[in-house]
Chains A and B, each alone.
Chain A
C-alpha cells in the first residue's frame, strides 16, 4: 500500500514538474503506437471489408486465422520480427533492429488481427443490412467497400481503439525488437519493466499511472471527436 501511494505521489510530481525525460518517453510511446495504429488500420480495414463482402474459398480459413491471431502473444511476434530484422536475418541489411521503426512493425503485426477481426464483425453485419440495396443500385466493388467502411466508421473507431489499447500497453514485443535503449527506443512500458527490475517500484508505478492517464486521455479525445462529428452532421 505504501508503494502504491508513493507511486501516485511520484506520478503527480513527475507530471507537475514536466520532467523532460518523461515527456520524451511518453511522446515516443504515443509516436510508436499511433503510427502503428494508422498503418494497422490502413491494412486491417480494407481486409475486413473485403472479407465481409467477397465470397471466396479461403475466406473462412482467413477469418479463423485472424480470430486465432487476436490472442497471439506479443513476445512471439517480437521474437519473429527480431529474427527477421536481425543483421543475420533476411532483412538485416535494412538496419531496422533496435529502432522505433522495428517497434512499429511489431505493433502493426500485433494490431492487425485484432482490428481486422473486430472490424470484420461489424462490417459483416452492415453488409447484411445493405446487401439488397447496394446490389440493386449496381454499385462497383470499390464503391461497395467504401460505402461500408464509411458507414461503419463508428464501429471501426472502436476497433481502432481496441488496437490502440493493445499496442500502448504492450511490452513483450517492443522490448525485444526495440531493445529499450535510453533516448532511442525506451517507451513507457519498457521503462516500467526496467524500473521494476531495479526494485524502483514507486517510479515504475508512477510511469504506470502516467500510461493509464495517457490511454484514457487518448480514448476520451477520440470519443470526443466522434461526438462532435455526430452533432455536426447527423
Chain B
C-alpha cells in the first residue's frame, strides 16, 4: 500500500506574486504514522500541506512521490481548517467523492450511509449539510475525506474552531485511522493535540523547516532556540 513513500521534497518553494511564501524546503517523509506540522502563525503550515498535496503550485524544486502524480493524487485526501460543505444532503456529501470516481450512485450511497452511521450522523443523513453545527460539519468533512480510503490524509488544523467534544471525536477517528495504517500529515496549533497524535513533528518557522524529529524528542528537548521559545509560549518571529 505504501509504495508511494518515501515522499521526497527537495528545494521546494511556493511563491505568490513573486514573494516567497515558503521554502526552500528539503524533507523526507516515510510511509508510517502521523506527522504533525507545528509552528507559529504565518510560518507556512497551510502552504506546506498544500504543496505536498499538490494544490499549491511549486515555484521551484520537487515534491516527489514514488508513484506518478495522477495515482498519487487519487491516494490522497485533504481536510480543511474550515470545512467546505457541498450544498447537498449529508449523505450526498459523503457519496460525492465516490461518485466523481465513477462509482454508481447506489454503491456510493451505501458506503455513505455506513460512514454516516460511523460518525453518528445517520439521523441527519437527509438534512442539508450546511445546516449542521461546526463540529458535525468537520466530522462530515473528515468522513468524506476517508470514504475513498486514502493512503495519505492531510488535515489543516482540523479542530481549530471546534469545542472539546467535537475535537475528541475527530481525534478518536484519526487514531483509529492511524492504527488502520492511514498515513496522517496534519498541522495544528494545539500542542496538546500534537502530543496526543504525533509520531514525528515538523517544526516550521518563517517558511523553513527548522526541525524534523520524533515527537517524543521534540517535546522533551527541542533542538533549536525558536522551537524552545515556541514551546514556552513566547512570541516567535
Contacts and interface: CB of A to CB of B under 8 A. Distances in A.
Interface stretch (A29-37, A135-143, A170-178, A211-219): A135-143
Nearest to B78: A136
B179 interface: no
Contacts of A126: 87
B206 to A, nearest CB: 24
Nearest to B87: A151
A129 B73 CA distance: 21
Contacts of A137: 96-97, 100
Given A151-B87, A233-B89, A234-B127, A135 B100 contact: no
B84 A129 contact: yes
Contacts of B80: 132-133
Given A132-B55, A234-B89, A234-B127, A139 B84 contact: no
B105 interface: no
A136 B53 contact: yes
Contacts of A136: 53, 55, 77-78
Contacts of B127: 234
Contacts of A151: 86-88
Contacts of A130: 84, 86
Interface in B69-89: 73-74, 77-78, 80, 84, 86-89
B110 interface: no
A139 B77 CA distance: 13
B86 A147 contact: yes
A130 B86 CA distance: 7
A168 B126 CA distance: 37
B167 interface: no
Interface of B: 53, 55, 73-74, 77-78, 80, 84, 86-89, 96-97, 100, 126-128
17 contacts: A130-B84, A132-B55, A132-B80, A133-B80, A133-B84, A133-B86, A136-B53, A136-B55, A136-B77, A137-B96, A137-B100, A138-B73, A140-B100, A151-B86, A151-B87, A233-B126, A234-B89
Given A132-B80, A133-B86, 13 more contacts: A126-B87, A130-B86, A136-B55, A137-B96, A140-B100, A143-B100, A147-B96, A147-B100, A151-B86, A151-B87, A152-B87, A233-B89, A234-B127
